[in-house]
Structure 1
Amino acid sequence: MKRMLVQKQKESLQIAVVDQERLFEFYMEKSENAGQLVGSIYKAKVVNVLPGMQAAFVDIGLPKNAFLYIDDVLHPHLEKQSKEKPQINQLLRVGQEITVQVIKEPLGGKGARVTTHFSLPGRFLVYMPIADYVGVSKKVSTESERHRLRVIGEQIRQAEEGVIMRTAAEGECSDSLANDVQFLREVWQRIDGAAHKAAAPALLHREADLVHRLVRDLLTSAIDEVWIDDLAAYEQTEAMMHQMAKAMLPKLRQFEKHGNAASLFHQYRIREQLHEAFERRYRLKSGGYLVWDQTEALTVIDVNTGKFVGTSDLEDTVFRTNLEAAEQIARLLRIRDVGGIIIVDFIDMDKEEHRDQVMQLLERLVRSDRTKCQVVGWTRLGLLEMTRKKVREQSSYSGGS
């Protein structure tokens, strides 16, 4: 059974997704953070234009200026972009005020990355006011359903609007999708109206908080139960589900702690699983282990057989260890929210078919990752190269109740 567990503490709201009581996803938002920066929209002022980098720095009111690249200034529909890109100083000038959206959180000493390609996610679709195309999630199962959603998308969008049908749109009626796009269209109209009145830098639209994103992004038909241990968070979630996902309401449960009974996270060993997941050395059930080393842009994972000696021959032992490692790597990347380049040093395999099976398993497992993840392939040195989109600082875990 797949459960979503929501635990409220004084300083944070935490969400864990478990399948058969095994942790697969973890999210945390501190109380003082009224939602993440990614997705927020600002009225910005251009403070520096760099033709040599085809980029500009803009002030959105944060300590560090945000970075705006030429491709994020040009029209988002690729067919409307000329092959020869203009110089950035032909499009922007110092002191100019523009509206931008955050697409990458500030990382380390770098400011946020922003774009003029606006997108507003809803329950069933993503609304883009100037994209001028219809897209469908690759996770929608059949071509007939993908075609149906494309047809509906063309019917409900207006003028240069664009929509991307999310996985949750699968099987939904056209009225639900039309209501979703109309709601987001009205949100955009309010943002656009505020942009004409505001003086830069100014926040025009803040991305939703974690409870809102829980219902909008995380709650799918694959979730069997949602348990929440805080009354206020329960009532907020219930209200949002009434508005956005009424059919999911029977899955909502309130967890009430009585006396000395274990907390929600304690009951499912979430703390222990988090502690294990964030260790530099992660032990596999077979007796093998993974070693994680990280820099700001690169993560290296070394696979070792450890105490696992197998029962037949060395190649079989190595192969089975690598398969188990691939399964855990896909899971731990999500829990740790690792981003950037990932290099996996699997144990050397003699058989090409074994190498193929390990890579295919990893490719299949990362398809369920909510963050874009790509298995690039084997390098000349026999290392497996991957990438995972990096939009915020990597998660960390330091314990706690």
Structure 2
Amino acid sequence: MKRILVQCGQEQIEVAVLENGKLVEYDSESRGIEQLAGNMYLGRVMTVLQGMQAAFLDIGLEKNAFLYIDDILPAHLDKHPKQKPAITDLVQVGQTLLVQVVKEPVGTKGARVTTHHSIPGRWGVYMPEADYIGVSRKIENEAERTRLKQAAESQLLQGEGFIARTAAEGVAEQLLAADLEELRRRWTVVQQLVKQPGKAPRKVYTDFGLLTRWIRDGFREDVNELWVDDKEAFGSIAAMVGWSAPLLRDRVRQFDTRAGSLFSVYQVDQQLQSGFKRKIWLDNGGYLIVDYTEALTVFDVNTGKYTGSIDLEQTAYDTNLMAAKDIARLLRLRDIGGLIVIDFIDMESESNRKHVLETLLEETKKDRTKNAIAGWTRLGLVELTRKKVKDGKQKLHVIRCKVCEGTGWVWSK
């Protein structure tokens, strides 16, 4: 059973995803404060650093945005050529560039931007200047992959690119064409705004708000129910679903707040607070320790109260198996990005090690954010990476703990 819950307060809108009653994803947006990722800006180059092969642009935010050379070179070009051009040959101080935010500002770092523009739709991602056709790796049927590529190829103009999303599997070509045409129309508007007179920096494209993004990206056939606790939001969501996914319209339901708050009824607040603690208990009595560093996130698996009933190897295997599933859930819930290292309990059996890794791989396939598992290291650790868009803690009402000088967080909701 998979549920999406939408709770609308006076100050913010919150979205929670439950799978069999367990909280697996959480997102929020303060009213009047938008997400930056996906927005496009006409920025001005302020600094070009040859030694870093990067430039910094003023896009109108508090801190200058970071533009790496790979995000200036043509999209899908070999990222490791023998000789890259000097960045000073590509951009100069004072030049204006149309860039798109791919990573939100985090801590002392400004936003990361790219010149590889893309506009996501329900069925695919339109890349106006990429000249490339791709299909989501989660679509494994080769015949379907070929069909989607041919469908996109028949609709694209010269120089355009398109990536079919996982949701496009089985979708009629007419719907794909309509989606592409709408995305192309948005890009045309962006180009018109860029040509209009006006000083840089300025914003020329805004990605959809929280609710629209979730209907576009998260409301799929595997969702059994979508509950909304606000009449106005319910009407908007029902209208969006009726247009984009009419077969799912009857799964959108309005929650009666007389029974209590939506998140309280489904114990979201309780799971949210426990899910962001440093120590996470597993169902069998084992536990995880989650530590953040500047470079990576570390998960340490421990047997805790679980003593097993057969031998040490079986006890470690059982705990690691349960930990693999919960770590995959926590990556989604906390929206952890970057390099992740997992210290599982040592196991002698190679088949047990293989099964734990396969379980982790299978569970991470549920993640809508791209990730890659590198496997076991020589020291018995598991390494993986997950695409970082923004700091998951930015979604929460937390403040830095003054007692531990910023290593902990205090819930302020």
Q: Please classify the TM superposition score into its range, dividing by the shorter chain length.
A: over 0.9
Deviation sequence 1:246-277 (CA, Å, 0-9, x none): 2221111011222xx22111111111111111
Provide the residue aligned with 2:138 in structure 1: 139
Q: Is the contact made by 1:338 and 1:388 (CA closer than 8 Å) also made in structure 2? A: yes
The equivalences for 1:2-401 within 5 A come to 2-34=2-34, 36-78=35-77, 83-197=82-196, 198-258=198-258, 261-395=259-393, 396=396, 398=398, 399=411
Q: Which moved more, 1:278-287 or 1:390-399?
A: 390-399
Change (3 A) 1:79 1:373: closer
Displacement of 1:239 in angstroms is 2.2
- Find the aligned partners of 1:32 and 1:345 in 2 and give their Cα distance: 41
TM-score by length of 1: 0.96
DSSP 3-state at the match of 2:125: strand
- Amino acid corresponding to residue 349 of structure 2 in structure 1: K
Deviation sequence 1:142-171 (CA, Å, 0-9, x none): 111111101101001111000000111111
DSSP 3-state at the match of 1:78: coil
Deviation sequence 1:324-362 (CA, Å, 0-9, x none): 111111001110111111111111111111111111110
- Amino acid corresponding to residue 192 of structure 1 in structure 2: Q
Change (3 A) 1:167 1:116: same
How large is the Cα RMSD of the aligned pairs? 1.6
- Amino acid corresponding to residue 227 of structure 1 in structure 2: W
Structure 1: where are the runs of 5+ without partners?
none
Displacement of 1:183 in angstroms is 0.4
- Amino acid corresponding to residue 358 of structure 1 in structure 2: V
Q: How many percent identity over aligned positions?
A: 48
Displacement of 1:294 in angstroms is 0.9
- Find the aligned partners of 1:46 and 1:276 in 2 and give their Cα distance: 44
Q: Which moved more, 1:47-56 or 1:233-242?
A: 233-242
DSSP 3-state at the match of 1:248: helix
DSSP 3-state at the match of 1:28: strand
- Amino acid corresponding to residue 50 of structure 2 in structure 1: P
Change (3 A) 1:69 1:277: same
Displacement of 1:82 in angstroms is 6.7
Q: Is the contact made by 1:66 and 1:112 (CA closer than 8 Å) also made in structure 2? A: yes
Displacement of 1:225 in angstroms is 1.0
Q: Is the contact made by 1:274 and 1:397 (CA closer than 8 Å) also made in structure 2? A: no
- Find the aligned partners of 2:313 and 2:82 in 1 and give their Cα distance: 51
- Find the aligned partners of 1:80 and 1:359 in 2 and give their Cα distance: 29
Q: Is the contact made by 1:74 and 1:81 (CA closer than 8 Å) also made in structure 2? A: no
Change (3 A) 1:82 1:382: closer
- Amino acid corresponding to residue 160 of structure 1 in structure 2: G
Q: Is the contact made by 1:75 and 1:81 (CA closer than 8 Å) also made in structure 2? A: no
Q: Which moved more, 1:144-153 or 1:71-80?
A: 71-80
Change (3 A) 1:4 1:375: same
DSSP 3-state at the match of 1:182: helix
TM-score by length of 2: 0.93
DSSP 3-state at the match of 2:3: strand
Change (3 A) 1:242 1:400: farther
- Find the aligned partners of 2:73 and 2:384 in 1 and give their Cα distance: 29
- Find the aligned partners of 1:73 and 1:49 in 2 and give their Cα distance: 13
Displacement of 1:397 in angstroms is 5.5
DSSP 3-state at the match of 1:362: helix
Displacement of 1:400 in angstroms is 6.8
- Find the aligned partners of 1:201 and 1:397 in 2 and give their Cα distance: 31
- Find the aligned partners of 2:220 and 2:300 in 1 and give their Cα distance: 34
Displacement of 1:79 in angstroms is 6.4
Displacement of 1:224 in angstroms is 1.0
Structure 2: where are the runs of 5+ without partners?
399-410
DSSP 3-state at the match of 1:43: strand
Displacement of 1:199 in angstroms is 2.2
How many equivalent pairs are there?
398
Q: Is the contact made by 2:70 and 2:79 (CA closer than 8 Å) also made in structure 1? A: no
